[in-house]
Amino acid sequence: MVVNNAVILAAGRSQRFAPFTYEMPKGLFKVQGEVLVERQIQQLQEAGVKDIYIVVGYMKEKFFYLEEKYNVHIVLNGSYENKGNINSLYSVKDYLKNTYICCADHYFINNPFLEEPEHSYRAITRKEGKFREFAVKVSDYNVITDFAVGGENTLCMVGHAFISEGFSKKLVEHMEREINDFGVSHMFWEEFYAKHSTDLTLFAKYYNNDDILEFDSISDLLSFDQDFLVNLDSRIMQNICTVLDCLPKEIINIEIINKGLTNVSFKFDVKGTTYVYRHPGGTSGNLVSRSSEVFAQMQAKKLGIDPSVIYISEDGWKISYFVDNTVDVDLDNNDEQLYKVMEGLRTLHSAKFEDCQEEFNSCKEVAPVEEAKRLMRIASQTKGDLISEFSDIIKPAEKLFEYVKNDGLTERVLTHGDIYPPNFLFTKDGDMYMIDWEYTRIADPANDLAGFIARYDMSEEQIDRYLKMYFGRELTFEEYRHYIAYAGCTALYWMTWGLYKGSVNEDDGFFMFTSYKLCKKLVAKALPLYENKE
């Protein structure tokens, strides 16, 4: 059967390879000295397939050079972010004939396109153990008869596929009818095929496990190409080598440890020591001040609150020692842990910074209500007029914060700004580390205590326990009123933080709705305390 063309799908993010895919798409990784997608293009062209379509989305501009270098066609998929690769295939529906379908990050040991296909097929291999690929069953006539997402000790789909012109025509007809149906747009194209497998016949074409490589992790790549990190054109690797005075090949055991709400972090070993690299998220610029973070992080190291940090840049990347032998954080039930947290906060809040007053004064200084309104204005670009929508809680919070600013208790200190249990590490030896200083700012000490109260639905007893542990005594009425009011205003900020995150299609946090309810509750409680009402 004469092959008309090929489609290479290259639109996705490949999150399992973060943070390196924050710098370039996985299909542009250089493996064994060759760029993955270029090797595949060359193999197709070697087999006589000249008409090649590359469907791009994430960092699409990095693929543009291929058009001139290899005379291929670049096709843009604008919906790659929140939809499955069925949309990538749909974007080239007009070109589907006798067509190879490939993914940009596959590595074929031998050229699989040299043998002329006889019918529509999917590359298949047998995998032992559990796997996340698509599992299949095959009839005695080598027709794929059953399909499942993930499997164990069975046949699975790998690598490429070939679809005939007749198959393509039926597939396009189904896509045109259903692409906007509920759930369809989030499918992989293989799932969509399986939905119509009674009408679309795919044969199995068998390969050995080591014929087609689909690298699932950095470790997989390194096991195949030990010089992968050496050849990776990565600022991340350059940063690590510069700070730790090492070679790329000495960086081993890379493992993602946190895909955080703002950043991604991975741990790695160099010369027997384990470190953590923190890479900043793409939308964090609207949320944090990196210069303030740099100042606070290094001051925290001097104060002994976070001695793990080694280096932090104005760009937001950071290298720290990996804190091992940690234990669970349970501040609600562990008085010893809570005392150490509050001791750390008191140390921070009482620091004077006489030798670096200019740097201290240059740190970000914001009030929670005004910062919340700023984020609402940004989020309103995609979510509608949020200022008007939430005016019923914004206006009381504004009124309350005016009272707070003028109650005579406001101080101007360095605060962490993102105080909640995940930002504390405790070791089995009882050491405490206060980490993640991105949201640091000059504010009232209540800004940090509010971090607990504004994101968790605490009882009155729990709130009293936290405040008393910080003060080391009973609070006066004025102090209690001040801290509860600040928590109510801060709850508005964290609710709005979630709205902003949602507006840029990122995880909006587990506390957005809780903070919304707490804002209403705490503001309603604190206002009468200032207005002398029951």
Cβ of 194: how many Cβ atoms within 10 Å? 19
Q: Are 300 and 306 in contact (CB under 8 A)?
A: yes
Residue 136 and residue 170: Cα distance in Å, rounded? 21
**Within-domain flag for 267:** no
Confidence tier at 534 by pLDDT (50, 70, 90): very low
DSSP class of residue 365 equals B
Q: Cβ neighbours of residue 180 under 8 Å, at least 6 residues apart?
A: none
Residue 402 banded pLDDT, cuts 50, 70, 90: very high
Same domain, 169 and 29: yes
Alpha-helical runs (H) found in 85-126: 86-90
Other Cβ atoms within 10 Å of 147 Cβ, number:
19
Do residues 397 and 488 touch, judged by C-beta distance below 8 A? yes
The structural domain count of the chain equals 2
Helices and strands in the chain, H and E counts: 18, 21
What is the spatial distance between Cα 342 and Cα 452, in angstroms, rounded to a whole number?
A: 12
- pLDDT tens digits for range 403-413: 999 999 999 99
* 276 falls within a domain: no
Residue at a domain's end among 202, 218, 234: 218
Using CA atoms, how far apart are residues 386 and 390, in angstroms rounded to an integer? 6
CA distance 437 to 298: 10
**Statement: residue 228 has pLDDT above 50:** yes
Do the Cβ atoms of 221 and 31 come closer than 8 Å?
yes
pLDDT at 259: 55
Q: How far is CA 296 from the centre of its chain?
A: 24
Interatomic CA distance for residues 19 and 278, integer angstroms: 9
Q: Is the pLDDT confidence value at 239 over 90?
A: yes
Helices (H), 330-459: 335-350, 357-361, 368-383, 386-389, 391-405, 446-453
Distance CA 131, CA 211 (A): 17
Residue 449 domain flag: yes
What average pLDDT does range 447-456 have in this prediction?
A: 94
Query: In angstroms, rounded to a whole number, what is the distance separating the alpha carbons of residues 246 and 133?
Result: 36
pLDDT tens, position by position, 36-59: 999 999 999 999 999 999 999 999
**Cα separation, 292 vs 288, whole angstroms:** 8
Q: Which domain holds residue 453?
A: 329-531
Residues 339 and 212 grouped into a single domain? no
Rounded mean pLDDT of 340-349? 97
Say if residues 306 and 347 touch (Cβ distance below 8 Å).
no
Q: Are 360 and 285 in contact (CB under 8 A)?
A: no
**Phi, psi angle pair for 131, to nearest 5°:** -145, 160
pLDDT in tens, 356-401: 999 999 999 989 999 999 999 999 999 999 999 999 999 999 999 9
* CA nearest to 126, candidates 244, 207, 67: 207
pLDDT for 190? 95
**Does a structural domain hold residue 184?**
yes
User: Domain ends where: 218, 240, 275?
Assistant: 218
Alpha-carbon torsion angle 420, 424, 430, 431, nearest 10: -140
Residue 35 has phi, psi (to 5 degrees) of: -70, 130
Closest to 80 measured CA to CA, from 66, 63, 68, 67: 63
Tell me, what's the pLDDT at 15? 76
Confidence band, pLDDT 50/70/90 cuts, at residue 282: low
Does residue 24 contact residue 59 with C-beta atoms inside 8 Å? yes
**Residue 519 CA to its chain's centroid (Å):** 27
Q: Of 218, 238, 254, which one is at a domain's C-terminal end?
A: 218
Amino acid at 273: T
Interhelix angle for 477-503 vs 446-453, to 10°?
70
Q: Which of 143-157, 188-202, 253-267, 499-513 has the lowest mean pLDDT?
A: 253-267
Q: Is the pLDDT of residue 232 over 90?
A: no
Domain membership of residue 283 (yes or no) is: no
In-domain check, residue 476: yes
Q: Determine how many CB atoms are found less than 10 A away from the CB of residue 151.
A: 19
Banded model confidence at residue 284, pLDDT cuts 50, 70, 90: low
Beta carbons of 87 and 188 less than 8 angstroms apart: no
Domain CATH code at residue 151: 3.90.550.10
DSSP secondary structure of 12-50:
---GGGTTGGGTS-GGG-EETTEEHHHHHHHHHHHTT--
Flag whether 321 is in a domain.
no
Question: Is 214 in the same domain as 334?
Answer: no
In a shared domain, residues 36 and 162? yes
| Structural domain contains residue 277 | no
Q: Are residues 333 and 472 in the same domain?
A: yes
Structure tokens at 491: 């709850």
β-pair partners for 152 = 130
CATH of the domain at 364: 3.90.1200.10
Residues 212 and 333 both lie in one domain: no
Phi, psi of 129 (to 5 degrees): 80, -175
